[in-house]
Chain A
Amino acid sequence: MRVALFVPCYMNDFHPDAALSAYEVLKRHGCDVVYPRNQKCCGQPFLNNGMHEEASEMADIFLSVFGDFDYIVSPSSSCIGAVKYRYATLEGGERFDSLSRKSYELCEFLHDIVGVENLDFQTPFTRKTGLHDSCHAVRELYLSSPSELNIPRYSKVEAVLSRVPGIEIVRPQRDECCGFGGGFSVMEPDISVMMGRDRIDDHSSKGVEVITGVDASCLMHMEAIARREKRNISFLHIANILAGREKGDIRL
């Protein structure tokens, strides 16, 4: 099973620990993981801002780098969402259909392809953990049941995370957006910050010590607010918890 690891551009520089964790988790579960060296941004910033020409070029690069692998796995639901569903909105978007079928968010891959029963996480995690449901994970990739829909309740992310020994998972009151939204965070700073703060408050009110999630971008946004406000709450990408790796730890 040839698996290509796609590391979102900002994670490469800001959260290499989480990328490394994703790599390790896949490796430990028997995947032949490769990190293709010539990978670049998936083009999401351009897609979401209507700049389809630029997005098209990034998408073509993505296709040329990842097209030949059996699976493409990434510790980010928003980037995978862009590849799976937004590339199709580009002119001649059919050429990306094959990518769409084999792209997976990390937890989704562990759940659907590796299988929950085969998951083996060694390192216990004992801090009270709030699970942030990011929009693309819930309402685009359907990694969990959106609260808006009248369908049976499930969460692939929680199913995966709960295999970590000793973990206590807390769900917030709302599965609401954190307010990052890429360009939204700087075009609508006031609403963006209020949304992020509300998410933090929601978790805090339930005694959460660490907020986790499948998207580093949401966590980065909330952490930036929490730091400014000197909140007593920390943030850790879900891959780190699965790999038993502390934040910022990049020792091999």
Chain B
Amino acid sequence: MRAFTDHPTEASRFVSDGERAHWHDRALWFVRAKRDRASETLPEWERLREEAHRIKSHTMKHLAWYLRLFEERATANGIEVRWASDALEHNEIVASILREEGVERVVKSKSMLTEECGLNPYLQERGIEVVDTDLGERIVQLAGDTPSHIVLPAIHLKKEDVSEIFAEHMGTEEGNSDPVYLTVSARKSLREKFLTADAAITGVNFALAREGAVTICTNEGNADLGVAVTKLHIASMGIEKIIPSAQSLGVFTRLLARSATGQAVTTYTSHYSAPEEGARMVVVIVDNGRSGLLAGEESPILSCIRCGSCMNTCPVYRRSGGHSYGSVVPGPIGTLLAYSRDGERYSSLPFACTLCASCTMVCPAKVPLHDTIYRVRKSAIETPTYTGKRKALSLIYALLRYRPLYLTAMTLYGWAVKYLPRNLLYSGYNVWGRDRDMPEPARRSFSRIYDDIERREDG
């Protein structure tokens, strides 16, 4: 993987292949449109969003209490509960459990948390094979790539790309990019991996405190298959995945799939409340910086249910691609997650946004995404990367504040646009002018025209 520089640079790279960028935009807009239609099937849609927001805010406010309740109930059900304060501790816990059981191969369903923790490389370095079983994640894993979307991890790849990757790693027919052929091939290859696996790792969509159970939503049934064929199930969850009870779950399952892909419900919505007889089930609860957000202005992002709808609707994400964010979770929610984790490294992300507010409007948990991006710009502009921008804005401020300076600047600008030779006016330094003409100021400003209006009305 390339090192991350900043969003504009990464975005430029993605956009330079105009055809692909447009295809990416259309593919995700299609999902957004499906989401719209699905939401319209429920007259109570906006009330559901409000309710989800209310439940999540309530749970976050009483997070410690709910987490303890979950631990107590889950333990009573026979589930082992382990706590990890950060990514490394999470990986160590998982690795030690796998070692205890002598595990050599793990099948893993989609979990952004394990991506966040870098679990795959951690285990592989210790001689444990990890097979991602979600089709999109499997494609990305074979390609040695990273997910570019949390629900559609391989959305940056076209079927022709997938055909090449499969031909190289699974020996499929070269040049055959028929989606059915490719999917069947992946399924066959994965089936063998499932049958020879020793343990299953899954994510968690919702943890039900009162029931001490976890709910996992997939479209491929890969999480269930992994759990069914192995004797060890490790489910990793962030502390924010907790909700009060199965009663509140209905609000979220109705919102999740509709928001994510426009389906009424995910194909599989499975509830795990105890290990099978003779099997082991461990839930690892991970903080990794989350609790630090609880008191701050970024706290609303803990209500996110990872549906990905903010990505699908984001006009920037759709055109710049998920990798342009340089973090596991891209798009509007990813911007906030990454920025809250490392403000300097990700200082360009809060500015990779036009504040169009579409993300906030689609968010099923009503996370005020664009408002929070707006708020964190206050600290982002103070990072070293933006010293120049700050200075430029200070200059604009001086101009706007002191009229004579402003008038002089406008006169100079007008003169430049009118008389400068094109190659000077549109030199490489003029970022606006690379693909856009410079707007010309009018001959007279409105304040001058208003002088005439006043004169006329007085006379």
Residues of chain A whose beta carbon lies under 8 Å from any beta carbon of chain B: 7, 9, 11-17, 19-20, 23, 35, 37, 40-41, 45-52, 54, 57-58, 86, 89, 135, 139-140, 146-151, 174, 176-177, 179-181, 183-191, 193-196, 198, 220-221, 223-225, 227-228, 248, 250, 252
Residues of chain B whose beta carbon lies under 8 Å from any beta carbon of chain A: 7-8, 11-12, 15-16, 18, 21, 25, 29, 36, 39-40, 42-43, 45-46, 313, 315-316, 319-320, 351-358, 360-362, 374-382, 389-390, 393-394, 396-397, 400-401, 410, 431-432, 434-450, 452-453, 456
Is there contact, CB below 8 Å, between A148 and B313? yes
A252, B452: Cα distance in complex, Å: 8
Report B-chain residues with C-beta under 8 Å of the C-beta of A149: 46, 361
B123 to chain A, nearest CB (A): 37
10 nearest CB pairs, A to B: A181-B354, A148-B361, A50-B377, A224-B436, A50-B378, A139-B357, A177-B356, A16-B446, A150-B45, A135-B356
A186, B376: Cα distance in complex, Å: 20
Is there contact, CB below 8 Å, between B316 and A150? no
- Contact A187 to B389, CB < 8 A, known contacts A57-B401, A148-B313: yes
Is there contact, CB below 8 Å, between A195 and B351? no
Is there contact, CB below 8 Å, between B315 and A45? no
Can you list 12 A-B pairs with a CB-CB distance of less than 8 A?
A14-B442, A15-B442, A23-B450, A50-B377, A54-B393, A146-B361, A150-B39, A176-B358, A187-B8, A190-B12, A228-B436, A250-B449
Is there contact, CB below 8 Å, between B436 and A190? no
A21, B394: Cα distance in complex, Å: 32
Report B-chain residues with C-beta under 8 Å of the C-beta of A225: 435-436
User: What is the chain B residue whose CB lies nearest that of A197?
Assistant: B435
Is there contact, CB below 8 Å, between B377 and A41? no
Is there contact, CB below 8 Å, between A150 and B40? yes
Is there contact, CB below 8 Å, between A221 and B436? yes
Report A-chain residues with C-beta under 8 Å of the C-beta of B356: 135, 139, 176-177, 181
A148, B370: Cα distance in complex, Å: 14
A99, B4: Cα distance in complex, Å: 43
Is there contact, CB below 8 Å, between B446 and A20? yes
A58, B25: Cα distance in complex, Å: 38
Is there contact, CB below 8 Å, between A185 and B377? no
Report B-chain residues with C-beta under 8 Å of the C-beta of A12: 445-447
Is there contact, CB below 8 Å, between A195 and B315? yes
Report B-chain residues with C-beta under 8 Å of the C-beta of A176: 315, 356, 358
Is there contact, CB below 8 Å, between A190 and B11? yes
Beyond known contacts A54-B394, A250-B449: 11 more, CB 8 A cutoff: A7-B447, A14-B439, A14-B440, A20-B446, A41-B400, A46-B397, A51-B397, A140-B357, A180-B354, A190-B11, A193-B436
Report A-chain residues with C-beta under 8 Å of the C-beta of B355: 48, 135, 181
Is there contact, CB below 8 Å, between A49 and B377? yes
Report A-chain residues with C-beta under 8 Å of the C-beta of B379: 50
Is there contact, CB below 8 Å, between B393 and A184? no
A213 to chain B, nearest CB (A): 14
Is there contact, CB below 8 Å, between B315 and A179? yes
A195, B435: Cα distance in complex, Å: 12
Main secondary structure of the interface of B (DSSP, over half): helix
Is there contact, CB below 8 Å, between A184 and B353? yes
Is there contact, CB below 8 Å, between A223 and B439? yes
- Contact A250 to B444, CB < 8 A, known contacts A184-B353, A191-B11: yes
User: What is the chain A residue whose CB lies nearest that of B442?
Assistant: A16
A135, B410: Cα distance in complex, Å: 28
B399 to chain A, nearest CB (A): 9
Is there contact, CB below 8 Å, between A183 and B450? no
A223, B453: Cα distance in complex, Å: 29
Of A150, A179, A180, A181, most buried by chain B (CB within 10 Å of CB) is A150
Is there contact, CB below 8 Å, between B11 and A188? yes
- Contact A183 to B389, CB < 8 A, known contacts A41-B400, A54-B397: yes
Is there contact, CB below 8 Å, between A191 and B15? yes
Is there contact, CB below 8 Å, between A35 and B439? no
User: What is the chain A residue whose CB lies nearest that of B18?
Assistant: A194
B322 to chain A, nearest CB (A): 14
B106 to chain A, nearest CB (A): 39
A118, B222: Cα distance in complex, Å: 62
- Contact A89 to B401, CB < 8 A, known contacts A12-B445, A13-B410, A150-B46: no
Of B29, B376, B439, most buried by chain A (CB within 10 Å of CB) is B439
Report B-chain residues with C-beta under 8 Å of the C-beta of A45: 393, 396
Of A17, A140, A188, most buried by chain B (CB within 10 Å of CB) is A188
Of A148, A180, A220, most buried by chain B (CB within 10 Å of CB) is A148
A9, B390: Cα distance in complex, Å: 20
User: What is the chain B residue whose CB lies nearest that of A201?
Assistant: B22
User: What is the chain B residue whose CB lies nearest that of A24?
Assistant: B453
A186, B354: Cα distance in complex, Å: 11
Is there contact, CB below 8 Å, between A49 and B393? yes
A176, B46: Cα distance in complex, Å: 21
Contact for A220 among B377, B380, B439, CB less than 8 A: B439
A93 to chain B, nearest CB (A): 12
Is there contact, CB below 8 Å, between A252 and B456? yes
